[in-house]
Amino acid sequence: MRALSKSKLIAFRQCPKRLWLEIHQPGVRQDSAATQAVFQTGHAVGAVAQRIYDPAGDGATIDLQAEGVAAAVEKTRKLLQARKPLFEAGMSAAGGLAFADVMLPVMDGATPAWKMVEVKSSTSVKTYQEDDAAIQSYIARAAGVEVRSVCIAHINAAWIYPGEGDYQGLLVEKDVSESAFARSGEVAAWIGSAQRVATQAVPPNVQVGTQCETPFPCGFQEHCRKNQPPAEFPVAWLPRTSSKALKDFLGQTGAQDMRDVPKALLTPLQRRVRDATVSGRPYFDAEGARQDLLPYPLPAYFLDFETIQFGVPRWAGTRPFQMLPFQFSLHQMDAQGQLSHKSFLDISGDEPSEAFAAQLVRACALPLPVFVYHAGFEGSRLKELAQRFPALAPELEAICGRLVDLLPIAQARYYDPRQHGSWSIKKVLPAIAPHLGYDALTGVQDGGMAMAAYLEAIAPATSPQRKALIRDELLAYCALDTLAMVEIWKKFSQSDSIPQPTDSTQGEKAMLIQPAAHSESAKEVPFFAALMQHLMQGTMIPKVQVERSIGPIIGFFLADALASKPDDDIVMLCPEFPIQKAGNNQSTNIDWLMLNLATRELLLVELKTTDTTFRPEQAAIYRELQNKIVREGSAAFLLDDLDAIGAASQERGKYQNVRNLLAQGFGASDANGLREALGHCSRAKVIYLAPQVSKPVDWPTGEDGWTWMSFADLPESLDAHDYADQWPAVRSSLLSLDLLTRRLRNGDVPSASGARNYREVLDFDTLLQRCRMEGASWVVGLKNWRSALPTMTLEQLRAKAYKCDLAEGGVGKKLGSNWIAGGQFLAHVEKLLDR
């Protein structure tokens, strides 16, 4: 008979089948990210508890993974004689196995006695935790240990961390000795029944039910459900099934399909969901939604927060599990339906709340409605910030007073069968705006992943390159939340406006391009706006070269757009200016050759419209031209090159026209004047105008004369241009190019590519050697590593074989959530090795 641990017995108490599966088929268990986060918090609280209960460091800790069960129990027996604090003490008796979080000696007699403390990461004592204490104390006493008292230590949610590593006061105790000792008979019965289940050849016949989520989510749910025929319209899609009558009916009948539930047991909301689901027709009270939004006309803000919480506070002045905002996205829509965007993200590792609050106050300075999705969340955070930072309180409270919640409007006025009983923004958005979706984002796709990504970003071991990637992922995710609100607002308000972004939201998001205006409303849309919308649709059409179609329009405004200083006087010399290739009379064209008359500096401007078109060999040609101008102290040789290219061409007249354009730009009256003017140009600057995400990692940031501009870097207005009123519409469309990444355009899902995406497979020891040599330039394949790695033991890591590849220039395509930087993997393993 194997001894059953407390965790196994608690599994049995939840569901006998769960116990059987944990013993016989542990590999099919799949814990959610939320469950993994709870485990991690528990580990953190346990580590702090040892410092609290043993401030002098005189105690000892039993390492079950290092010792093994038998050795751990024997070592515990010996250490208990020392009468010093003991942590993770192992005791086995009566068919059970217990590892007590804390054993503290009671010094009031000659016979060794102990106070047992079970440490929990919750903020109150739960019923199942009292079961824990009863099991632990029963096994300990059966093993001959004199347990005088049993306490459950839980987190004090009101405690404020003073800083400097002082966690005295984090935990408070509840003495449960009397109830724990009185339940010995119950525990013995549990162990007997659990032992019988454990020895069965087949699992108990237990149907999926409420026990799958109570007292905590079971990791075997997917396994248990796969053998049950799925309901066409699952009862789980009915919202708010908390009424006793409905719960009793489901428990008694086992009904799985909502069609089997009597209508009399359903609320009006549940009936609406059932009717829409069964019929396949969405429900939309369009007039009601429009009326709900009438009191809040444009202009308006759309706001979303991301927060982090720690069971063990990291920053002075904060409480356990306090939701601390580290990021916001804010879209502003003007009265004409045009969008601009501002954001805040702090991944420095410092406490972000005050900087967050200050930036938010500045961003929401206008007294406009602030649309949110679930105002209770943002409203609570704003009130907490106001209490913490009195100097900002009036502005924060004013923002709180302007919140308009889109969620209750959605719940009352809209339901699509694709929502599956949920009104979360991630369920509503694909129904309302199919062209947008969170699954197109790289890395961060939900709030749990955002928290995990933030924790990784602020970890000291995270490389600058990885941190920058996480930053882009977080910015993209949070920005899509507010863009989703914009789409919901458009649907509910029945607005004919076509919002476009007019500021950068870095990283991969979703396509913002809207269909061209219908003819009946086209007259309300400026010509350039309608034209740009039409041209930008080419970004999602095969073989359409968008650069060629939008280049002339950009060139029409570009001279003024590049004049960043008051004394700049930039003129367009020639679009598609030919540059002679080395060794022959062939040419490659720079998109625009321009001139800064104030500095006599030539500008070589290159346009890119996707993240896949930067070519190092092309950049090398521009660098060589730039260097040649510096070496010769003159750009006059461009005329000789132009003559040579023209002489070899069948269209010589075009090259003569280029000469004429140069002369016109320089104001030269003849060939000698043009050569002299070019002779005064002793420097050239290379400018790439391209989507932000396409910037190469090795771009010469510090190199003089090389500039990378995203479309967000272009000025919002061109006051001096003859057609300045058209520029915002052009710029607004260009900004969508910052958002249209390769994966969005081609549906690039690495896991579904079917091709090999790794260089080699290594065992654990060889991998560690490679990681020590290669560091961040090497990546290791580990599925869902953010949640999986913290839970894996050293033995589990040693048992695996690992796909590996170069971080840059590797084989195939990779999903970031399944590949971890070698240096980061090594840092985690070395912590385990040091224990």
Whether residue 608 contacts residue 592, with contact meaning beta carbons closer than 8 Å, is answered with: no
User: Who's near 335: CB < 8 A, 6+ residues apart?
Assistant: 298, 299
* DSSP 8-state assignment for residue 816: G
Q: Looking at per-residue confidence, does 42 or 512 come out higher?
A: 42
Element (H, E) at 449: helix 447-458
Q: Would you call 403 exposed, middle or buried from its count of C-beta atoms within 10 A (0-12, 13-18, 19+)?
A: middle
Interatomic CA distance for residues 259 and 270, integer angstroms? 12
Long-range contact pairs involving 568-575 (C-beta distance under 8 Å, separation at least 24): 568/596, 568/598, 569/596, 569/597, 569/598, 570/594, 570/595, 570/596, 570/597, 570/603, 571/595, 571/597, 571/665, 572/665, 573/661, 573/662, 573/665, 573/666, 574/658, 574/661, 574/662, 574/665, 575/551
Interatomic CA distance for residues 699 and 436, integer angstroms? 31
Interatomic CA distance for residues 349 and 352, integer angstroms? 8
Residues 493-534 have pLDDT tens digits of 886 444 443 333 333 333 332 333 333 333 344 566 667 666
| pLDDT at 219 exceeding the cut of 80 | yes
**Beta strands, E only, 23-170:** 60-61, 86-93, 96-106, 113-119, 147-155
Residues 612-659 have pLDDT tens digits of 667 777 888 888 899 999 999 999 999 999 988 888 888 888 888 888
Q: Which two tokens stand for residue 205?
A: 């016949």
Interatomic CA distance for residues 127 and 10, integer angstroms? 12
The pLDDT of residue 740 is 55
The closest of 7, 18, 182 to 99, measured between CA atoms, is: 7
User: Who's near 168: CB < 8 A, 6+ residues apart?
Assistant: 52
Residues 87-139 have pLDDT tens digits of 999 999 999 999 999 999 998 777 789 999 999 999 999 888 999 999 999 99
* Maximum average pLDDT range among 108-112, 185-189, 812-816: 185-189
Q: Which two tokens stand for residue 661?
A: 């354009």
pLDDT above 70: percentage of residues in the chain: 89
User: 299 preceded by cis ω (within 30°)?
Assistant: yes
Residues 323-345 have pLDDT tens digits of 999 999 999 988 888 889 999 99
Whether residue 486 contacts residue 429, with contact meaning beta carbons closer than 8 Å, is answered with: no
* DSSP 8-state assignment for residue 257: B
Burial per residue of 712-733, b for 16 or more beta-carbon CB atoms within 10 angstroms, e otherwise: bebeeebeeeeeeebbbbbbbb
Classify the C-alpha dihedral 629-630-636-640 as positive or negative. negative
Element (H, E) at 672: helix 671-679
The pLDDT of residue 509 is 35
Residue type, 613: T
The closest of 550, 620, 612, 621 to 588, measured between CA atoms, is: 621
Interatomic CA distance for residues 353 and 316, integer angstroms? 12
Residues 454-499 have pLDDT tens digits of 999 999 999 989 999 999 999 999 999 999 999 999 999 886 444 4
Place of tokens 């019965």: 189
User: Who's near 663: CB < 8 A, 6+ residues apart?
Assistant: 669, 670, 671, 673, 674
Look at phi and psi of residue 237 and say left if phi exceeds 0, alpha if psi is from -120 to 50, else beta.
Answer: alpha
Beta pairing class for 86-93 and 60-61:
parallel
Q: Average per-residue pLDDT in the chain?
A: 83
| pLDDT at 796 exceeding the cut of 50 | yes
The closest of 400, 497, 508 to 445, measured between CA atoms, is: 508
Among 181-190, 465-474, 701-710, the range scoring the smallest mean pLDDT is: 701-710
* DSSP 8-state assignment for residue 600: T
The pLDDT of residue 116 is 95
The pLDDT of residue 512 is 32
Entry pTM:
0.58
Max Cα-Cα span within the chain: 112
Q: How far is CA 757 from the centre of its chain?
A: 23
Q: Which two tokens stand for residue 643?
A: 């003559």
CA angle, 778 then 781 then 784, to 5°: 125
Q: Give the residue ranges of DSSP H helices in 312-364.
A: 353-363
CA angle, 459 then 461 then 466, to 5°: 85
Half-sphere exposure of 446 (CA within 13 A, CB side): 8
Place of tokens 């003017």: 677
Complete DSSP assignment for 163-224: STT--TTSEEEEE-HHHHHHTHHHHHHHHHHHHHHHT-SS-----S-GGGTSSS--TTHHHH
The pLDDT of residue 214 is 82
Q: Hey, which residues does 645 pair with through a beta bridge?
A: none
Beta pairing class for 300-308 and 370-372:
parallel
Whether residue 261 contacts residue 255, with contact meaning beta carbons closer than 8 Å, is answered with: yes
Q: Hey, which residues does 234 pair with through a beta bridge?
A: 257
**What is the C-alpha R_g of the chain?**
33
